[in-house]
């Protein structure tokens, strides 16, 4: 089983990549506000009906853009684009992978801190792929449950995300590969003002294997804007996403059937 290896080619064409993502963020921000970032962990929370979110991440291995819309109460519809700097199929040209998914909130506490949701889609998150593997939209599918718990007077939030994935076009022989995805994220508040110290672990077991890895960082939060700076690697040091900077921005409710109130 090949291990994840961090490419020696760090930040290829960095200025062009950053300009591309920043321009995209600015364009969307003129009409809306952003959500998302580089954590593979998630919680039960779903944005209020009519709110759209834009999230962008720039890192050492890839850059990402999320567009998220709460077009139906209790639901989020997500489009994720990942621009890999090196195509793992030939370790040369960059390529863009698409991940399409929906999120449904199942149960939430009155303070909106804890609860459960389910997420399902086609494509893949980079954290749940082995280096050299390509998971194409409509050729790979996944489903994940999310559970969020609060401790220490709500200063510590813990997310647990078990899931399953299948890649119908895995490897050179286009074989079917199943995987059991797992991740857990902890966010500690009260140490850094208006921020959380965040740590997460993640990986994939089974035929669609991905090395157990970790991500550490700090996340600054406000009602409309979230920013995070993180570092990620495999536990055995074989490589990961490295350093990443991510932002999230939320719109006002504007996209409701029949108008927002």
For the chain, give every domain's residue range: 14-250
Which of 126, 101, 130, 122 lies closest to 208, judged by CA?
130
Alpha carbon distance 35, 56 (integer Å): 8
pLDDT band at 25 (very low <50, low <70, confident <90, very high): very low
pLDDT digits (tens, 9 = 90+) for 90-106: 555 778 889 999 999 99
Which two three-digit tokens encode residue 199?
Answer: 């740590």
- Predicted confidence band at 86 (pLDDT cuts at 50, 70, 90)? confident
User: What local confidence, expressed as pLDDT, does residue 183 receive?
Assistant: 96
- The fold adopted by the segment(s) 14-250 is Porin (2.40.160)
Mean pLDDT of the chain: 82
In Å, what is the CA distance from 156 to each residue of 54, 151, 197?
Answer: 26, 5, 10
Q: What is the pLDDT of residues 129-146, one digit of tens each?
A: 766 666 778 889 999 999
pLDDT tens, residue by residue, 3-12: 333 333 444 4
pLDDT tens sequence across 164-191: 999 998 777 778 999 999 999 999 999 9
CA–CA dist 83, 144 (Å, integer): 23
Mean local confidence (pLDDT), 230-244? 93
How far apart (Å, rounded) are the C-alpha atoms in residues 229 and 231? Answer: 7
* Cα separation, 101 vs 82, whole angstroms: 14
How many Cβ atoms are within 10 Å of 148's Cβ, its own excluded?
24
- Strands (DSSP E) contained in 136-241 are 140-151, 156-170, 175-189, 195-206, 210-221, 225-234
Q: Output the pTM of the full model.
A: 0.81
């Amino acid at each position: 089983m090949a291990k994840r290896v961090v490419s020696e080619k760090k930040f290829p064409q960095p200025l062009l990549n950053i300009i591309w993502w920043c321009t995209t963020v600015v364009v969307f921000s003129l009409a809306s506000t952003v959500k998302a970032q580089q954590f593979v962990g998630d919680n039960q929370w779903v944005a209020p009906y009519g709110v759209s979110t834009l999230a962008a991440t720039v890192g050492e291995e890839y850059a990402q853009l999320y567009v998220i819309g709460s077009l139906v109460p209790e639901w989020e519809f997500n489009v994720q684009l990942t621009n890999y700097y090196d195509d793992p199929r030939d370790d040369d040209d960059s390529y863009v992978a698409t991940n399409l998914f929906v999120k449904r909130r199942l149960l939430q506490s009155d303070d909106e801190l804890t609860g459960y949701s389910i997420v399902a889609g086609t494509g893949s998150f980079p954290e749940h792929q082995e280096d050299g593997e390509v998971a194409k939209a409509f050729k790979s599918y996944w489903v994940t449950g999310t559970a969020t718990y609060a401790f220490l007077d709500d200063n510590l939030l813990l997310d647990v995300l078990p899931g399953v994935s299948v890649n119908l076009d895995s490897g050179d022989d286009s074989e079917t590969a199943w995987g059991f995805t797992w991740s857990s994220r902890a966010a500690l508040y009260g140490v850094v003002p208006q921020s959380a110290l965040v740590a997460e672990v993640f990986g994939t077991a089974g035929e669609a294997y991905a090395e157990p890895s970790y991500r550490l960082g700090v996340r600054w939060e406000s009602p409309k804007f979230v920013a995070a700076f993180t570092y990620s690697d495999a536990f055995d040091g074989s490589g990961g996403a490295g350093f990443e900077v991510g932002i999230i921005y939320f719109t006002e409710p504007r996209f409701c059937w029949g108008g927002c109130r």
